[in-house]
Structures are given as C-alpha cells and as structure tokens.
C-alpha cells in the first residue's frame, strides 16, 4: 500500500517518520493545499492520501488541546460576501438561485469504527473570523476543504487527521504547539498501522 502524508508545514511534520509513508510539505492555505494535493496525486499515485496538521477547536466542541481527530466533513467557511445584514455564505446564494451548493464535503472513506473522534471542520482563509457561524462545528483549519475537493474530484482515497493546538477565540493565546505536533505524529503512526493491517 502506497501512503502519502501531506503536512502544511515542516513544523507539523517534524516528529513524524514511517517506513511506509512518504511526506509532502504542501504549504499553508487553500490555494497551496489544492495545488499540493493534485501534485501529490499525479506524482506519487498513492493508494491513500492523508492530510495531517494542527487545528484550532471552537469553544463548544467536545475536545481538548492535544486531542487528535479524524475529520468527517469540511466546508470553506468564509466563501461568500457581505451584505447590509452581514456575511452571507455562498451556499446560501446557491439555495436562493437553485443550484447545487457543494460546499460541505464529506469523507466517504471513514471506517465503521473510527480510531479517533470524528470532527466537523471549517476551512478558512482568515483564522478567527468573527463573522462565521460556527454552530455545530468542531474545528478550524486552513487547508482541508481544498484537500477534500481535489481528492473527491480525482477519485482519490483520502483522510484528514488533525491535532488540537488551541481554542479558536480572539485573545486566547494559550497554544500548545509541541503537544499537538507530538500527538499528531503519534496518531498518524497508529492510523497508518491500522491501514496497513486492513483495520481501516
């Protein structure tokens, strides 16, 4: 089984190594993620492609800093426009104009018994954006929606793992980068082991 892991940054990859996985540093943000995901698919032809990185958790999420999650869904949350009544997501316009929104993307490869908690995720270009309705969403990152979109379009089997580094709240600077990066590496090794054993 050929496995490729994309990390947004070298820092997120620093504690990870596995003899059965190749590493790609893909860059931060949705544009970089789209490019690096497609390039990884075309150059490596992986059986499984994994996006791995840290993430912030929204205050109402049933998580804590250092937890590792398997992302079940992604949405490009700040894709839209402002009106006199506030921010309006593009999916709202899609409903009004009767076209398929396709902004919330699910991972169709989730195992029946997940080794990690499943999380719903928002991908944003502007972290901590105060205009986004985060009700019912667990985490925030800057790459996942583009990764999901490209993988689904290309028919690529994929997963996204995130470890929680901080709480998404303005003025909350209590990050634990070292813990989240360490837990991410531990979780990835466990996940890849289960992939190779056929448990996932």
State pLDDT tens for residues 27-42. Answer: 999 999 999 999 999 9
Quick one: pLDDT at residue 99? 45
Tell me the sheet residues that pair with 121: 74, 139
Summary mean pLDDT of the chain: 90
The predicted model gives 150-179 an average pLDDT of: 92
Q: How far apart are CA 70 and CA 133, in angstroms?
A: 22
Contacts of 36 (CB under 8 A, 6+ apart): 6, 24, 25, 26, 27
Q: Is 86 left (phi over 0), alpha (psi -120 to 50) or beta?
A: left
How many structural domains is the chain composed of? 1
The pLDDT, as a whole number, for residue 84 is 82
For residue 67, which of 196, 144, 164, 157 has the smallest C-alpha distance?
164
Which of 2-11, 97-106, 176-185 is least confident? 97-106
Average pLDDT over residues 117-123: 95
Q: Is 103 helix (H, G, I), strand (E, B) or coil?
A: coil
User: What's the CA gap between 46 and 107, in Å, rounded?
Assistant: 17
pLDDT for position 131: 73
Domain hosting 14: range is 3-196
Predicted pLDDT at 7: 98
Helix (H) or strand (E) holding 12: helix 10-13
pLDDT value of position 100? 47
- Residue 87: pLDDT over 90: no
Q: Higher pLDDT residue, 6 or 125? A: 6
User: In sequence order, which residues have a C-beta less than 8 Å from that of residue 165 and are 6 or more positions away?
Assistant: 54, 55, 56, 65, 175, 176, 177, 179, 180, 181
pLDDT at 186: 98
Average pLDDT for residues 77-86, to the nearest whole number? 73
Q: Rounded to an integer, what distance in angstroms lies between the CA atom of residue 194 and that of residue 200?
A: 6
Task: Assign 91 a pLDDT band (cuts: 50, 70, 90).
Answer: low
Residue 93 reports pLDDT greater than 80 = no
CATH number at residue 16: 3.40.50.1580
Q: What is the pLDDT confidence band of residue 92, given thresholds at 50, 70 and 90?
A: low
Average pLDDT over every residue of 67-94 = 77
């Amino acid at each position: 089984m050929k496995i490729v892991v994309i990390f947004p940054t070298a820092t997120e990859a620093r504690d990870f190594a596995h003899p059965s996985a190749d590493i790609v540093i893909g860059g931060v943000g949705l544009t970089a993620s789209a490019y690096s995901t497609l390039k990884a698919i075309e150059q490596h032809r992986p059986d499984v492609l994994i996006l791995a990185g840290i993430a912030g958790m929204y205050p109402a999420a049933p998580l804590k800093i250092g937890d590792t999650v398997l992302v079940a869904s992604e949405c490009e949350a700040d894709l839209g426009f402002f009106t006199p009544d506030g921010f309006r997501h593009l999916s709202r316009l899609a409903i009004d104009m009767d076209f398929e929104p396709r902004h919330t993307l699910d991972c169709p490869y989730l195992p029946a018994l997940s080794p990690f908690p499943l999380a719903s995720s928002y991908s944003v270009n502007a972290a901590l954006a105060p205009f986004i309705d985060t009700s019912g969403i667990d985490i925030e990152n800057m790459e996942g929606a583009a990764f999901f979109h490209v993988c689904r379009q290309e028919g690529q089997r994929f997963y996204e793992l995130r470890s929680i580094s901080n709480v998404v709240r303005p003025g909350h600077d209590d990050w634990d980068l070292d813990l989240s990066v360490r837990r991410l590496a531990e979780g990835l090794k466990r996940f890849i082991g289960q992939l190779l054993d056929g448990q996932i």
